[in-house]
Amino acid sequence: MSTAPDSIRVLVCDDQALVRTGYATIFSSQPDMEVVGEASNGHEAVASSRLLNPDVVVMDIRMPLLDGIQATRHLAGPDVKDTTPPRILVVTTFNVDAYVYDALRAGASGFLLKDAPPTELVNAIRTVARGEALLAPAVTRHLIGHFAGHLRPAGTTDAARNDVVRALTPRELEVLQHIAEGLSNREIATMMYITPETVKTYVSRILAKLGLRDRVQAVVLAHRTGLSSGTA
């Protein structure tokens, strides 16, 4: 199928050939997507991404030679010098969610469960390609419940918390806390009696003021500094 000039360039990374083929078939059938390559391990994922310049990398966590977390860190981590790194969409299962927090800190823009339906998967790619984060509220709450202690290391200081409080208005701080609770923009809008569009504006301001790339980093920061009700 021919693709539009501004098609989303996707790199598929998974150690199972059947999974890669399935993903490639689904993505290639979309009029706004182009599968530019596949990788069967972390080393191939890093090399292929740097060679092919995909917009989105669909990354498995458990892969040989170099796992998906390390590969994500090489491609989109805080030390990466590339000004336009690819967006990383991690795919996982609940039985490996001990790794999800590490993947998010490594630079992933979001994650999905491997049994997500095709429609949800392609929409996730579009979401992260737009520069937004995909952090399903239900899964976010699940992770927060299991890793609240891990999200706020013992070494976190009050200074970091105070920096965030000073940077944001009270309204923005309230939105950040709701984001950290795993609420969607629509849910936040309902709770705060504002429109989803207004929430989106608040989120954009929060990310800009705190120098964060996306919603995922906002969740991590809120929990690391104890600003979320789950870790305060």
Q: pTM, whole model, 2 decimals?
A: 0.68
| Kind and range of the H or E run holding 197 | helix 196-210
Q: Which domains does the chain have, with CATH numbers?
A: 8-135 (3.40.50.2300), 146-224 (3.40.50.2300)
- Rounded-to-integer distance, Cα 129 and Cα 164, Å: 27
How confident is the model at residue 220, as a pLDDT?
74
Angle value at C-alpha 217, between 63 and 210, nearest 5 degrees: 150
Q: Which residues of the chain have pLDDT under 70?
A: 1-5, 78-83, 94-101, 132-158, 229-232
Q: Measuring CA to CA, which residue among 147, 49, 39, 152 is closest to residue 100?
A: 147
Strand blocks (E) in 70-179: 87-92, 110-113, 134-135
Q: Which of 86, 106, 192, 178 is nearest to 140 (CA)?
A: 178
* Site of tokens 């795919």: 91
pLDDT of residue 21: 95
- What is the structure's pLDDT at 30? 94
User: Whose structure tokens read 């689904």?
Assistant: 26
Instruction: Please count the residues of the chain.
Output: 232
pLDDT at 201: 93
Per-residue model confidence (pLDDT) at position 98: 62
> What's the confidence (pLDDT) of residue 144?
56
Residues ≥6 apart with Cβ < 8 Å to 189: 195, 196, 198, 199
